[in-house]
């Protein structure tokens, strides 16, 4: 299933790193300071909060993930991502997952599709309602590990806070052909997750715990996984995150999955209303 493209992927990774470096240096850092509290999907748990990046903001994410699958398979992944607050309360983004999958000895590297997405936040949390958002992803079969299917994923997101503690619920469904999918970020048939986080404001640290269940494709075993993670404000515009996940059922899920990453917030002056 996998084709080796080591040199091509090295070049791709180099370009991604260069692009990230340029983004973080050419355009001067901006906002944040409290970005550690903004939960993005997979950073570091599956669950995300209901709030988009701020209007005019960009966020560049560069995570690494490793999964030791039940049955011996291993997966390495870099999933560079860019998000932009293109409208008030709404963001668009692009993910380019690069996977290294090892099934029977050799690790095959490749671009595992492209994911284009949009998220719109309907409301800020009020006394009566949690914050609610809707998200849609278009999964494109691009790259040597991208599979063959174009799919659409829809997600509903809710966030409710009680001071320093918040609870987030995500529910997602993916539509489309379920044959020959990408090994990474394929879009699960369905996925439900519940996470709670705790803000340590003096340390600029967020601690997160999560339980998630999902089914990859029709008739696949259902995964139930638990995860814990943390997000730490490293500089005013840079957040470090780390997370660990493990299956709770024998049937499916990782023996161990580890992720760590970096996200950086910035803006581009000529895209701003008073930009000159």
Partner 1 sequence: MPTGRFRLVLGILMLVPGSLSSQDQRNEQFYYPGSFNWQFLRQYPEGGRLFNAFDYGHAVLYEKLYTRPRDLKRELEDRQFDYLTRDLLVRPPRFAVVEEAIEPAYAKLAWRAKLMFDWAHMLHRQIYDIYADPRLDRARQDSLIERVTDYYLSNRRLAFAARPKSMALMDDQYYSQVFRRDYPKFNGLIWAYHWLQVGLYEPLIEGRSPAERKAGVQAAIARFWSMMEAAPTRFPKVMPMTSAVAPQFSAAHPRAAVIFDNLHMTHDIISDILAADTVPAGRKRMVIYAALDQMQDSTRDVMTMDEWRNMGELMGGLGVMGGPATGLLSPQPIDHQGMDAMPMKMHHPSADSTRSDPHGGHRAPSGEQPRAPSTPAPPQPPDSASQHHHPQRMRQ
Q: How far is CA 181 from the centre of its chain?
A: 18
Minimum Å gap between C-beta 199 and partner 1 is 5
Q: Token pair of 3, please?
A: 């084709």
Q: Which residues bind partner 1 (CB under 8 A)?
A: 27-31, 33-34, 37, 51-52, 54-57, 85, 88-89, 121-127, 129, 131-132, 134, 154, 156, 161-164, 173-175, 189-190, 199, 201-204, 233, 236-237, 265-269, 272-274, 276
Angle CA 3–6–8, to nearest 5: 95
Contact 253, 222 (CB under 8 A): no
Closest listed residue to residue 20, CA positions, set 87, 79, 86:
79
Closest to partner 1 by CB, 6 vs 203, is 203
Compute and round to an integer the Cα radius of gyration of the chain: 18
Q: Given the complex with partner 1, which of 202 and 219 has the nearer CB atom?
A: 202
In the complex, least distance from residue 20 CB atom to partner 1, rounded to whole angstroms: 17
Q: Which is nearer to partner 1, 196 or 226 (CB)?
A: 196
Alpha carbon of 16 to those of 10, 64, 117: distances in Å?
A: 10, 13, 19
Q: Measured from the CB of residue 175, what is the shortest distance to partner 1 in angstroms? A: 6
CA distances from 44 to 63, 91, 105 (A): 9, 19, 28
Residue number, 37 or 95, with CB nearest to partner 1: 37
CB of 26 to partner 1, least distance (A): 11
Q: Is 161 helix (H, G, I), strand (E, B) or coil?
A: strand
What tokens were used for 154? 């829809």
| Shortest spacing between CB 272 and partner 1, in angstroms | 6
Please identify, using beta-carbon distances, which residue of 134 and 194 lies nearer to partner 1. Answer: 134
Angstrom distance (rounded) from CA 63 to CA 197: 20
What's the closest the beta carbon of residue 27 comes to partner 1, in angstroms? Answer: 6
Give CA–CA dist 148/116, Å, rounded: 16
- Half-sphere exposure (CA, 13 Å, Cβ side) for 45? 32
Choice between 85 and 143, CB closer to partner 1: 85
């Amino acid at each position: 299933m996998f084709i080796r493209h080591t040199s091509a992927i090295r070049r791709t990774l180099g370009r991604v790193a260069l692009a990230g470096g340029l983004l973080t240096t050419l355009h001067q850092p901006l906002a944040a300071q409290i970005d550690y509290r903004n939960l993005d999907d997979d950073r570091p748990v599956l669950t995300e909060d209901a709030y988009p990046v701020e209007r005019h903001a960009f966020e560049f994410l560069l995570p690494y993930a490793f999964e030791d699958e039940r049955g011996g398979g291993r997966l390495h992944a870099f999933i560079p991502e860019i998000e932009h607050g293109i409208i008030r309360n709404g963001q668009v983004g692009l993910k380019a997952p690069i996977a290294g999958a090892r099934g029977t000895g050799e690790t095959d590297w490749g671009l595992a599709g492209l994911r284009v997405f949009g998220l719109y936040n309907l409301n800020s949390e009020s006394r009566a309602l949690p914050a609610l958002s809707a998200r849609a992803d278009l999964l494109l079969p691009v790259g040597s590990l991208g599979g063959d299917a174009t799919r659409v994923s829809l997600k509903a997101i809710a966030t409710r806070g009680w001071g320093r503690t918040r609870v987030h619920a995500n529910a997602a469904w993916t539509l489309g052909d379920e044959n020959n999918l990408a090994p990474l970020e394929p879009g699960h048939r369905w996925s439900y997750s519940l996470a709670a986080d705790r803000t340590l404001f003096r340390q600029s640290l967020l601690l997160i715990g999560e339980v998630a269940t999902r089914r990859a494709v029709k008739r696949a075993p259902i995964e139930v996984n638990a995860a814990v993670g943390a997000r730490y404000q490293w500089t005013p515009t840079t957040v470090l995150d780390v997370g660990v996940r493990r299956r709770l059922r024998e049937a499916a899920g990782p023996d161990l999955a580890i992720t760590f990453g970096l996200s950086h917030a910035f803006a581009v002056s000529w895209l701003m209303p008073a930009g000159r």
